[in-house]
Structures are given as C-alpha cells and as structure tokens.
A and B are shown apart, each in its own frame.
Chain A
Amino acid sequence: MSNWEAVIGLEIHVQLKTRTKMFCRCPNGFGGEPNTQTCPVCLAFPGALPVANRRAVEECIKLGLALDCEIAERAVFHRKNYFYPDLPKAYQISQYDEPLCARGKLAVPTENGDITVGITRAHLEEDAAKNVHVAASGRIHGATATLVDFNRGGTPLVEIVTEPDLHDAESAKRFLQLLRQTVVELDLSDAELEKGSMRFDVNVSVRPAGSDELRTRTELKNMNSFNFAAKGIEREIARQIRVYEQGGIVEQETLHFDPAHEESPPMRSKEEAQDYRYFPDPDLVPVHPPVDVVERLRGEIGELPGARIKRIADTLSFYDADVLVTGGLDRLWADVVAAGAEPKEAANVLANQFVATGIAPSAVNAAELAKLVSARAEIPRAAFDEALAKTGDAGFTAAPYLEQKVVGDAAELDPIIERIIDANPGQAEQFRGGKQGLLGFFVGQVMKETGGKADPRVVNERVREKLRA
C-alpha cells in the first residue's frame, strides 16, 4: 500500500445551450462565420450595458438543485478585471462571494458504496471570445497576428467547483462522467468535451496517508477526454510522490496539456498572482430567485443518474448499471425489460451491440426492440445485427427478422455436416490427429452452406460428434 494519499478537486465549466448569450440577445450558437454573432454589448462598445439572461439564471439554479445546492436568496454578479484581447470589456462578468448555488454534493455510486463529493459552488458567468493566432502574410517571416472571434464571447457558462474530496484518478473520472450525464439529462448543455461545451481543470496534491494537511497543488488544464484526464491525474500523483520521496518540494504551477498530442508532456507555467480586483457589477441588479420559480425548477428534475445506477444495480451488476446510466441507455433498458425482455440479456445487447450502432435511444420503439432481444438466440446472427441497425428507423418492426429462425434441428443439419466431412477427408484426418483448431473450419463451412441460419451451438456439437465417429 502506498504511504501517500492524493487530494483532488475539480473546476468544471459547462456551456449552457440557451437561445441567446448571457448578457445580450445575440444567438448562442456553436460555429458561424467569425464575428457574425455579435452586438454592441458583447463587443463592449462604449455605453453598452449587460442584461442578465433569465433562462440562464434558471438553468444554473436547476443544475444547482440537481447538485443538492442551497439556492441563494440573493446572488450578485461581480466583475473580474484583467486585460486580454479576448475579453473586450477588460473584465469578465462572473460571480464571487454571492454565487447562485452553493454547498451542494454529488454522490458517485461505486461497487463499494458512494463517494460523496462536496460542491463548493455553482455559479454563472460569461465565456471569453476566441483568439486565433495566425501567421500574417506579407510580413517579415515569423511575424504573427492574433485575430479575435467574438462569437463565443459572452456565451453563458456555469462554473462548478468541488471540494477536494476525491482521492484517486478513477473516482475523479467517474465523478466527471456522472456530472456530464446529469447536465445532459437536464438538457442544459451538450456537454461535449471535443467542442469545448464542457471543460474542466483538475487540482492535484498529495499528502502522507492519514494526514489531513493540504499541500501545494498543481493545476491540470486542457484535458479533453475523461480517460486522458484519468491518465494525466495518475501521472501527476506519481510525479508528486516521487518529488516528495526524493526530498524535493512540489511547486505551485499549471500543467497545460495538448489535447492533440496526449503523449507529449504538458507545458508548465508558474501561476501568476493575478489581482482580479473583483467588485459587484454596478450595471446589474442582484438576482433574487423567487421561491415559486425554484420550486417549479425542482419539480422539473426527474430521478437523477446516481440514484438510478443504485436502483438498477439491485437488478443487474453494478458495472452494467453504471454503463447503462452513464451511457444514457437505462431508460430504454427499463422500457425494453417492461416489454418482456430478460434484464441481463437486454443490458448486454444495449451496452454492447446497440451502442455500436450510434442510434439515439430516444428514437427506438422499446416493444419492438424487446421482441428482437428475446429472439436473439433463435434468429441468425446476421439477421439480428441487421435488425438492430434499423431499430432507429421510423416504423421499425421486428417481425420480418423474427421469421428467419435458426436451424437447430440435428436431423436437418446432420446430412449437411456429413456431406462436408466427406468432401474434406484430409482436414477430417488432421482433426482426428489432434488438430482441434480445424473444428472452426468445418463449422464455418456448415454456416456458409446454411446461409448463416444454422444455430452455431448445435452445429459445433454435431460437427464434433460426426468427426469423432
């Protein structure tokens, strides 16, 4: 056992998919020609003023409720001041000491019980614009220019900050997956890591096991997949332990990963002691969420993924339950089971073959899929695969595929098997001489002969039997 314990805290940004931006009426859309989704407010023209997006406030509250947060009776927008070309006002409107949501928790189910992660806060803020660094043509070589695309500038973000309650990379990954699924199910965000609509930073430190001190942390940035994050965290934990064991000290720094080159070591930078001069934004009035609105939003939240994993794990293995829920498949699974399919069988089909088809679970008629799942053993594999690929089609019915019964009758198969053995005396001789691998050859020939309709289990058995003879 290691003598060290890791301490991990997360900071997650989720881009809300509201129709308009956080403080102006520009469309909040991904893509678009550069600088086409802009106005005097998000370009910070003199005199332009922000007006808070009511919808974004409600969505932040909803996420806060799903994370078991207290919803503030009074929340305030602050200005975070710093100069950067992608920040046209020279301040970001964010929240500081009076966030919309605080003191929550998210329980991450595991096989050995829940890991409960404290949610320090969930607050609203605006995103920065996007700097695009380009080589300027017509200039001395090496000279570069920075272009700014303000389409993203001012789009709404929820920032979620956790307590340092996680102690290993795998748990951090599972927390992030569960949080993502929660956000997606509440329909607040696409939360797509590749598009940047969900981003996260990880703070990592280590300490002697059993101690409760908090040592210097490093910050890991720019990891755009959960597996990549887990790997990065693991490596950083190992590095810090190595540093301490060699008598060194861990310095406070930021590790910038390059998502395009996962294997290359991260760039390191010292954390600058920036003074953001936070103060309440005088252009915006404090938000006082009305109790009835908060209660309405609470009512809109269904059973959350964490709870569903635990409930489903009573029927299936924890692993299956976890895969179904974090894969967004459990509701379809429940419908398929309700329509008569065997639970474990349905879970296997969904978590393996169905996922591979890329079909949206919501597009599927559960009753038809249930028929297909129940008949899986009785219809040819090829027919099953073909049918599964079409479950997302409108008006899909399983019936035509169910008619293609497998041939499992030995009396029907035996003559075919005998004919094939007779036609391949050499291979039959080798099999009998101990070359067991040739069984597959004969089975394959029979399947081919029967057009894939033979039951592979029966064929296996009969071929073995006949060859022994």
Chain B
Amino acid sequence: MIDTLRLTAEEAWRLVDGREISGAELFAAYAGREDDLHAYLHRCDDPGGDGIPIAIKDVIGTKGVPTTAGSKILEGYVPVFDSTVASRCKQRGLRLLGKTNTDEFAMGSSTENSAFGPSRNPWDPTRVPGGSGGGSAAAVTGGLAPWALGSDTGGSIKQPSALCGNVGLRPTYGTVSRYGVVAFASSLDQVGPVAKTVRDCAFLYSIIAGRDENDSTTVEVPTVELPGAEDLTGVRIGVPKEMNEAEGIEPGVSAAVRRAIELAESLGAEVGECSLPRSVEYGVACYYLVAPAEASSNLGRYDGVRYGLRSDAADFREMLMQTRHDGFGDEPKRRIMIGTYALSSGYYDAYYGTAQKVRTVIRREHADVFESFDLIVSPTSPTVAFKIGEKVDNPLAMYLNDLLTIPSCMAGLPGLNIPCGLSEGLPVGLQLIGPQFSENTLFRAGHALERALGFDSVPERLR
C-alpha cells in the first residue's frame, strides 16, 4: 500500500527506479484517490513514462490536455503545444496526473476566484488552501500528487504552500521559462515547484529551470545542488523588522516564525535585524498597478476570434464585448479596469510610470540588504488559512494576504516557503528570500531548518 500522504517524490522515484513499484502502480495510487478537496480541474489517464507522477497548475499549457487558467473564457481550450516546463517534465518521464485549480488567470489568494469553484484546505476543508495556486498546494498536502508545478506572480506559490503546510519555491525571475504559461503579469510571472520537502522542491526546480530560446527573458542558471547539510554555519540571516512586525500578522504566526529564527541561530546562523521600509510600505500598491496594467494587455487576446468562448453577436465589436462580459469573472474584470486606467494617456506617468520607479527603489533596497545578509526571513502569510467566503467581499483585505510575498516578487528575487509550525491547528509558513540566483542558498537553509523543525506535513485530521 502506497501512502500518498507521506511519500516524498525522492522516495517515490527511488521505489520506481528500484522496481519496487511500477510507475503505473504509483500513478494509480494518486489517480485513485478521491479529490474531495477540488484540487483538480481535470485529471488525466496515465500517459506513461519512466518517471513519477506530477500535477500541473491549470495556467500552465499542456498539449492535448485542457488548460483553462480557471476561467470560463478558456473552457474547452486544448493547447496544441506544450509549455516549456511541461515539455521538460515530459522529457524527464514525469506523468501528468492532472491540471490543478487556480484563481481565474492566477488572480487571487484563495482559489475562490476560480470559475469552477474553490479548492479546500487539506487541514480544514472549510478553509481556503490559499491562492492562486491553491489546487497544486492542496494536491501535494492532500496526497493527490507527490509534487506539483505552480506559478507565482505576487505570492501564488509561496502563500498556498504556507497555508497548506508544504514547500514552495518562487524562483528568481528569468530562471524558468514562461513559454506556454497563460500570462497574467509578464514581468512578474514565474513557474515554480511545490513539494513535500526542500530536496524534492530543489530537484523539481532543476528539471524546469534554465535558459529557453522561446522566452527572451530567461537566462542560464547555476547548477542546482540538492541540499544535504543540516547546519547553518556561516549563513547570515536578516530579519527585516517591517516584515516581521507588520500590522495584521497573527500572534500565532509571529510566534512560530520567531521560534524558527531562534532555531536557525542554534544551527549556527548569524541572525541580525535589517530594514526594508519602502518595499513593505509601497510594495502592494506598486504591485496593484504593475500587475493589472500588464494583465489588461495580456488578457486582450481573449476576443472570441480564435479559441475559447465566443458569445453570439451581430458584429465583431459586439461579439468581443459580449464574449469578455460572459467569459471573465469579477476579479479579471476588476484588474483589467485598474490596469487600463493605469496605462491611459494622461495617467501613465502618475500610475504605471511611478510604479516602475518604485519598483526600482524596491529592487535597490533589497540589494542593499543583501550586502550584509545571505537571506532574509519573515512569515510568508500574515495569517493562517482563512474560512472559505470570509474575504470574498473585501478585495482589499484579500490583497493584503500578499503583503509579505509581494515585495521580493517586485524585485525579481527567489523566495522559498517552508512550514515552521502550527497556529490554531493550522500550518504557518516561513518565507526565506535571497538575492537573484541564490536558490542553492535557499535550499540549503530551508533543508537544514526543515530537518531541525521536524514539521509533520500530514494534516492532523488525515493522520
């Protein structure tokens, strides 16, 4: 009997390689598990391959397999080409289990914006799994996949991983190809791994990362080192006070993060305070200009002409408007409007132009901090998983979920979430952020902390 709740990808791969179980058996173990979390929008038959199974977020294009980005406007759309990441997974023999739920076009922090209904948190099905990549995070923790791919624009990998109690990496911007990934905000979108352990996360990252000639913004990346060290000797860890003392951080979250920082110190890390005042103060505001601006342009292609939904109307103009009216949910509409406004002539300088300047400030402020520290830490999410429906009527409260994940995304920096304890019986995520291309440092530190913390990633109710 395969325990899909506990089996790591590394162990699964070892079992398949050693012919202790067949790849098909392994696939069946995950595929046969009932999806009572609504983690998947679409589940696949075993496509074969010599590797282990994987789940992929539904914004990531998969040839021959429906890819809706959680939107009605793409209902029934089946890509004719693989995204680069899907193709790299295929080349390594990974077998696609299915496409996981997401907020529509990855816009949201709870999956409640999915046109196909929310996913549920494996720790408490009345709560959200986070978002937008809640489906991938719920699948990994809920025993529905050994690992998964997510995508992160302002926290869509890190925050769901925090709320579901697993490991998620948002890689350095430019290390993973965006080719074939439904675009939300192109200058921010990054695909990354979601896994049960830091080593799994590092391994999946090594499969998908690297220069892709189909994505001009990608670069060559340093060779990925699977972490093994269990100490943090010589690692300089900064604790930005604005990110650890921000208003709205729940006391239970603060406490768990503080304990993790103390643990890091006992493992040999040099811990010191630092400051990112403007990044935290302006990050969210800046993000909610840049991301919607790019989204307003990226979502223009859903016009009913070539694929996806087409509403009936007398002429092109009417068809276009009716299709977009019928096909987009409230959140994409909201962001298209904000973004269109921010780019409008007469407002461009005040909004988009200024946001880009602030982004440079955020980048510099982070760079300054990394003069003195190898990485910085904070809570990933200010709160533990909230109730389904709790914040749907308050977009601003929902946006503040990403207060702590957004600044480093704006700076293009990598961030790793590892679970660091429980608060009110729900997982708390620790965010580790490093300078550009510091993934190996994040893996090393994440792994050492993970071992020392000994967090049991199987939800109590499922043990």
Name A's B-contacting residues (CB within 8 A): 40, 43-52, 79, 81, 83, 85, 88-91, 146, 148, 275, 277-279, 281-285
List the B side residues contacting A40 at CB < 8 Å.
Answer: 79-81
A88 to B301 CA separation, bound complex (whole angstroms): 6
Residues of chain A lying within 8 A (CB to CB) of residue B352: 279
Question: Hey, what's the 0/1 contact readout for B277-311 against A, CB within 8 Å counting as 1?
Answer: 00000000000000001101100110101110000
Cβ contact within 8 Å between A90 and B61:
no
Closest to B67 in A: A46
Task: Decide: B294 and A148 in contact? CB cutoff 8 A.
Answer: no
Give the number of A-B contacts (CB < 8 Å): 102
A89–B324 Cα distance when bound, in Å, is 14
Q: Is B147 in contact with chain A by the CB < 8 A criterion? A: no
Known pairs A40-B81, A46-B77, A146-B316; A283 contacts B306 (CB<8 A):
no
Chain A: minimal CB distance from B295 (Å): 11
Q: Which residues of A contact B182 (CB under 8 A)?
A: 46-47
Q: Are A83 and B303 CB-contacts (below 8 A) given A47-B178, A275-B344, A279-B297?
A: yes
Report chain B residues within 8 Å CB of A275: 344-345
Measured in the bound complex, the distance between the Cα atoms of B187 and A284 in whole Å is 10
A285 and B216 form a contact (CB under 8 A): yes
> Interface of chain A, helix or strand or loop or mixed?
loop
B198-219 interface (Cβ within 8 A of A):
213-217
Known: A47-B83, A49-B216. A79 touches B180 (CB 8 A): no
Residues of B contacting A278 with CB < 8 Å?
343
Q: Are A46 and B61 in contact (CB under 8 A)?
A: yes
Is A279's CB under 8 angstroms from B79's CB?
A: no
User: Of residues 330 to 361 in B, which have CB atoms within 8 Å of A's CB atoms?
Assistant: 340, 343-345, 348, 352
Known: A88-B306, A283-B186. A47 touches B61 (CB 8 A): yes
Whether the pair A45, B320 counts as a contact (CB closer than 8 A) is: no
A282 to B356, CA, bound (A): 12
In the assembly, what is the distance between CA of A44 and CA of B352, in Å? 24
Q: Write the nearest CB–CB distance from B124 to chain A, whole angstroms.
A: 33
Indicate the member of B178, B182, B214 with the most A CB atoms within 10 Å.
B214
Task: Establish whether residues B186 and A282, one from each chain, have CB atoms under 8 Å apart when the complex forms.
Answer: yes
User: A148 contacts which of B217, B297, B305, B348 (Cβ < 8 Å)?
Assistant: B305
Which residues on B are within 8 Å of A, measured CB to CB? 60-61, 67, 69, 74, 77, 79-81, 83, 178-183, 185-187, 213-217, 293-294, 296-297, 300-301, 303, 305-307, 316, 320, 340, 343-345, 348, 352
Chain A residue at minimal CB-CB distance from B178: A49
- Give the contacting residue for A46; candidates B79, B316, B344; CB below 8 A: B79
**Which residues in A have their C-beta under 8 angstroms from that of B67?**
46
Set A50, A52, A89, A285: member contacting B300, Cβ < 8 A? A89
Interface pair B345/A284, CB less than 8 Å apart: no
Which residues of A lie under 8 Å from residue B316 when comparing CB positions? 85, 146
Could you tell me if A277 and B216 are in contact, using CB atoms closer than 8 angstroms?
Answer: no
The closest CB in chain B to the CB of A144 belongs to: B315
Most buried by A among B74, B303, B316, B340: B303
Q: Are B293 and A90 touching (Cβ within 8 A)?
A: no
Residue on A nearest B187 in the bound complex, by CB: A282
Evaluate whether A81 and B300 lie within 8 angstroms (CB atoms) in the complex, with A40-B81, A88-B305 already known: yes
Are B183 and A47 in contact (CB-based, < 8 A)? yes
Q: Is the CB of B307 within 8 A of A45?
A: yes
Q: Is the CB of A52 within 8 A of B216?
A: yes
In the assembled complex, which residues on chain B have CB atoms less than 8 Å from the CB atom of A285? 216-217
Among A45, A90, A277, which residue has its beta carbon within 8 angstroms of that of B344?
Answer: A277
Would you mind naming 19 contact pairs between A and B with Cβ atoms under 8 Å apart? A40-B81, A44-B306, A46-B61, A46-B67, A46-B79, A47-B79, A47-B182, A48-B81, A48-B180, A51-B216, A85-B303, A88-B303, A275-B344, A277-B297, A279-B293, A281-B186, A282-B185, A282-B217, A283-B183
B305 touches A45 (CB 8 A): no
Please give me the 8 A-B residue pairs with the lowest Cβ-Cβ distance, nearest first.
Answer: A90-B300, A282-B187, A277-B343, A282-B186, A47-B180, A46-B182, A44-B301, A47-B61
CA of A88 to CA of B69 in the docked complex: distance in angstroms?
A: 19
Q: Which chain B residue shows the least CB distance to A285?
A: B216
A78 to chain B, nearest CB (A): 11
Distance between Cα atoms of A128 and B213 in the complex (Å): 24
Q: Tell me the complex Cα distance, A90–B306, Å.
A: 12
**Would you call B79 and A45 a contact (CB within 8 A)?**
yes
Instruction: Specify which of B67, B81, B182 lies most central, judged by the most chain A CB atoms within 10 Å of its CB.
Output: B81
Given the complex of chains A and B, what is the CA–CA distance between A45 and B181 in angstroms? 10
- Whether B81 and A45, one on each chain, are in contact in the complex, defined by CB atoms closer than 8 angstroms, is yes
From B74, which residue of chain A is reached at the shortest CB distance? A46
B residues in contact with A81, CB < 8 Å: 296-297, 300, 343
Q: A47-B83, A47-B183, A49-B178 given. 11 additional CB < 8 A pairs?
A: A40-B81, A46-B307, A47-B61, A47-B180, A49-B215, A51-B214, A52-B216, A275-B344, A279-B293, A279-B294, A282-B217
* A89 and B343 contact, CB distance less than 8 A: no
Task: Give the complex CA separation of A277 and B83 in angstroms.
Answer: 29
Which A residues are CB-close (under 8 A) to B303? Answer: 83, 85, 88, 90
For B80, the chain A residues whose CB sits under 8 A away are 40, 45
B343 / chain A contacts, CB cutoff of 8 Å? 81, 277-279
Question: Do the beta carbons of B305 and A47 come within 8 Å of each other?
Answer: no
The reply to whether A46 and B69 contact each other, CB–CB distance below 8 Å, is yes
Most buried by A among B179, B187, B297: B297
Among A46, A277, A281, the residue within 8 A (CB) of B301 is: A46
Assess the A49–B79 pair: CB atoms within 8 A. Answer: no
Q: Roughly how many angstroms separate A45 CA and B214 CA in the complex, as a whole number?
A: 14
Q: Roughly how many angstroms separate A49 CA and B320 CA in the complex, as a whole number?
A: 23
Q: Determine the residue in chain A with the shortest Cβ distance to B61.
A: A47
Task: Tell me the smallest distance from the CB of A52 to a CB of chain B, in Å.
Answer: 7
Complex Cα distance A89/B298, Å?
A: 8
Check B216–A83 contact: CB distance below 8 A.
no
Min CB gap B200→A, angstroms: 25
With a cutoff of 8 Å between Cβ atoms, the chain A residues found around residue B320 in the complex are 83
User: Which one of B60, B213, B293, B348 contacts A51 once the chains associate, using CB atoms below 8 Å?
Assistant: B213
Of chain B, the residue at the smallest CB distance from A79 is B297
CA distance A285 to B79 in the complex (A): 26
**Assembly CA distance A52 to B216 (angstroms):** 8
Which residues from A are CB-within-8-Å of B213? 51
Give the most central of B180, B305, B320: most A CB within 10 Å.
B305
Return the chain B residue nearest A81 by Cβ. Answer: B297
**Cα distance A299–B177 when bound, in Å?**
37
Contacting pair A85 B217 (CB below 8 A): no
Chain A nearest CB: distance from B178 CB in Å? Answer: 6
CA distance A46 to B181 in the complex (A): 7
Residues of A within 8 A of B183 (CB): 46-47, 283
Most-contacted residue by chain B among A45, A90, A282, A285 (CB, 10 A): A282
Residue of A nearest to B219 (CB): A285
A91 touches B297 (CB 8 A): yes
B162 CB, min distance to chain A CBs, angstroms: 27
